Amino acid sequence: MKIKRISEITAVLLFIAFLLLLVFSHRQDLFTDTTMNAFNTGWTYSYQDQEGDTVLPASLDVPKDTEVVFANTIPDEVGDNYALVFRTRMQNVKVYIEDRLIYQYPDQDLIGREIPSAWNFVRLSESDAGQRIRICISSPYTRFSGGISGVQYGEYNNLVTGIISAQIKILRMSILIAFLGMAVVLLSIVSRRYNIFTWHRNLGMLLIVIAVWLCGEAGMPSGKVGLEAWHYFALISLLFCPVFLNAYLYARWKDDHGKITGILFYVSLIAAVGCLASEVLGGPDLIEMIPLMHVMIGISLIYALLLYILAARKKQGDFIRSELVCILIIFLAGLVEIMRFYRTDKMVGNFLRIAILLYALNLFRISASMLYRKVKESRELENRLRRSRAELMASQIRPHFIYNTLNSIRTLIRLDPKAAQQAVYDFSIYLRSNLENMGERDLIPFADELRHIRAYLDIEKIRFEERLNVVMDIQASMFLVPPLSIQPLVENAVKHGICTRMSGGTVTIRSYEETDMYVVEVEDDGAGFDVSGLDLGDDTDSAAPSSGNAPDGHIGLKNIRFRVQEITGGTLKIESHPGKGTKVTVSFVKTEVNTEK
């Protein structure tokens, strides 16, 4: 293995290892050495005509818009700059000490109609120790009514630092998924020339959308990002996850399952836009639409799992099995998270985050591997094209042809000086075309190739005179072809098709335009050959049979077909019958050519 390849693989592995270390490594707490104190026992609750004792966290079966009061006595060790903290989900909050209101959330107008989930930091003073505290909560949603997290107390700064320290681990994992998604998108943009990331880009965008949703669900305090931003990040991203998932599935399996996937994409898009319209126009809001979001995600994820299973059975792709395993893990983790949500209303847990992170890492591995493989194949292809070009160049430098041409010109100088002058001109055009084709141009105008062909045929007519007839039917000439892609075919027609017969024959050259192709035909009515034994595989090193219009060991049809296919995406087709002649048809994908000299 080459040193460069080893270094590249090592760099990729180190990058992945560093990302994993960033997520899972332990960090020193440089801000506080004080632990937060639990304050979860001794609470009572009351709402309507119900009351009782409870231990926090609690989740009571309470109708929406019903205020629940949790009451307790503040511990005696509370001092100045102390606070207590608890988390509420989509709830209004008021905190009283005795009859004095000391905290309210929200305390100002919010963006939108929903009440974002929040960490409630309630400042206390030393005089509050031993006083009666009441936490009053209510929610406009039945699902979130009557629920409250555990309560902790301690110095205010320590509480803030402790909560951030706990939630940043979750946020960091979500950010890593976003980085991996952006890396895949970046790879797809940088590598457009290789045409290998037609669906990776869609999947990278999906990972970014999922990461935004997970960041919104990370439960971070709103010190840097506003509560409404976290809230709508999560909801809108969740809303559009099925859209991006189906867009990815459509891009990847368009040919096999495009119709069904397209329908599912538009259904999910209409559902997402409809939910946003309902939010804006005063209908059911996004929180009330969460079950619909979950249904769309579930349908799309099950459909994706089925497509992966079908693709794995058909072995569509080198990495499909590892992708299937990751998708199955995501599906199972998502199922667990959905059950937890509808049973306990808890936020997205780490099961789903880890599953998605594993998939993102695997996708990055696949993308990097495919890019590396494609770059390697591209280099090998360039080398093959270079060798193919060199072989064609060498095939044009034939001492016998040069000797015969010069001998013919010498004879013409005595018999017909004017014809000799034209022959010298044709021979110079022929040699000049050969020398120009030794340059680095991959494509030349067909008009230049045609000039080379005419010069060659004029030279051959000096030798074969009436035995060689030429018919030109050129209806299109301003398109691009690889150098020496047609002239060798004409040469084969003359050398192996016409001149093997005493009576000679006719070589016909046609060019015309089709809807998406330019077509060139080289046809002779010479000896012909049996095409059943002709191998036109990609192996350019082997020669084609030397019969009829088949080329000799220097000018191989495989060589020409390989260059036409790889450089222009065109095709080469041969029809031949012994004793009747040969027809070679070369099709070139339409490409604009600059006619200015």
Q: What is the CATH number of the domain that holds 243?
A: 1.20.1070
- Tell me the residue range of the domain where 330 lies: 160-379
pLDDT score of 587? 92
Please check whether residue 388 lies inside any domain of the structure. no
What distance in Å separates the CA atoms of residue 124 and residue 83, rounded to the nearest whole number? 5
* 146: nearest Cα among 98, 89, 106: 89
Mark whether 254 and 276 lie in a shared domain: yes
| Token representation of residue 540 | 């350019």
- Other CB atoms within a 10 A radius of the CB of residue 164 amount to 16
Torsion angle of alpha carbons 571, 577, 581, 583, nearest 10°?
-10
Mark whether 543 and 436 lie in a shared domain: yes
Torsion angle of alpha carbons 76, 78, 79, 81, nearest 10°?
-170
Domain boundary among 116, 150, 184: 150
Element (H, E) at 4: helix 3-24
How many CA atoms does the CB half-sphere of 379 hold within 13 Å? 5
pLDDT score of 221? 83
Mark whether 132 and 177 lie in a shared domain: no
Please check whether residue 307 lies inside any domain of the structure. yes
| Token representation of residue 251 | 């891009």
Largest CA distance in the chain: 129
Mark whether 58 and 172 lie in a shared domain: no
- Other CB atoms within a 10 A radius of the CB of residue 267 amount to 16
Please check whether residue 386 lies inside any domain of the structure. no
- Contact assessment for residue 288 and residue 141, using Cβ atoms and an 8 Å cutoff: yes
Please check whether residue 275 lies inside any domain of the structure. yes
Q: How buried is 14 (Cβ within 10 angstroms: 0-12 exposed, 13-18 middle, 19+ buried)?
A: exposed
Domain boundary among 128, 150, 172: 150
Mark whether 539 and 585 lie in a shared domain: yes
CATH number of the domain residue 122 falls in: 2.60.120.260
pTM over 0.85: no
Q: How buried is 207 (Cβ within 10 angstroms: 0-12 exposed, 13-18 middle, 19+ buried)?
A: buried
Q: How buried is 270 (Cβ within 10 angstroms: 0-12 exposed, 13-18 middle, 19+ buried)?
A: exposed
Please check whether residue 3 lies inside any domain of the structure. no
Mark whether 140 and 166 lie in a shared domain: no
Mark whether 287 and 200 lie in a shared domain: yes
Mark whether 370 and 500 lie in a shared domain: no
Beta-carbon contacts of residue 295 (< 8 Å; ≥ 6 apart): none
Mark whether 111 and 187 lie in a shared domain: no
pLDDT score of 551? 43
Residue type, 574: I
Q: Give the gyration radius of the chain's Cα atoms.
A: 38
Domain count across the chain: 3
Please check whether residue 559 lies inside any domain of the structure. yes
Match 């700064």 to its residue by tokens.
157
- Other CB atoms within a 10 A radius of the CB of residue 237 amount to 20
CATH number of the domain residue 500 falls in: 3.30.565.10
Domain boundary among 150, 181, 200: 150
Return the SS3 of 566: helix
pLDDT score of 465? 80
pLDDT by residue for the chain (597 residues), tens only, comes to: 455 455 556 655 666 666 666 656 655 554 444 567 899 999 999 998 899 999 999 888 899 999 999 999 999 888 888 999 999 988 999 999 998 999 999 888 878 788 888 899 999 999 899 999 999 999 999 888 988 989 999 898 888 888 888 888 888 888 888 888 888 888 777 766 666 666 778 888 889 889 888 888 888 887 666 778 888 888 889 999 999 999 989 888 888 888 899 999 999 999 999 998 998 888 898 888 888 998 999 999 999 999 989 888 887 766 888 888 888 998 888 888 888 777 765 656 678 888 888 888 888 888 777 777 777 777 776 666 666 555 555 455 555 667 667 777 777 787 778 878 887 877 787 777 766 665 556 788 888 888 888 888 888 888 778 888 999 999 998 898 888 888 888 988 888 888 778 888 899 999 999 988 999 999 998 888 877 766 665 443 333 333 344 444 334 677 788 778 877 888 999 998 888 889 999 999 886 544 443
Mark whether 139 and 231 lie in a shared domain: no
Please check whether residue 24 lies inside any domain of the structure. no
Mark whether 51 and 192 lie in a shared domain: no
Mark whether 556 and 526 lie in a shared domain: yes
Please check whether residue 30 lies inside any domain of the structure. no
pLDDT score of 584? 92
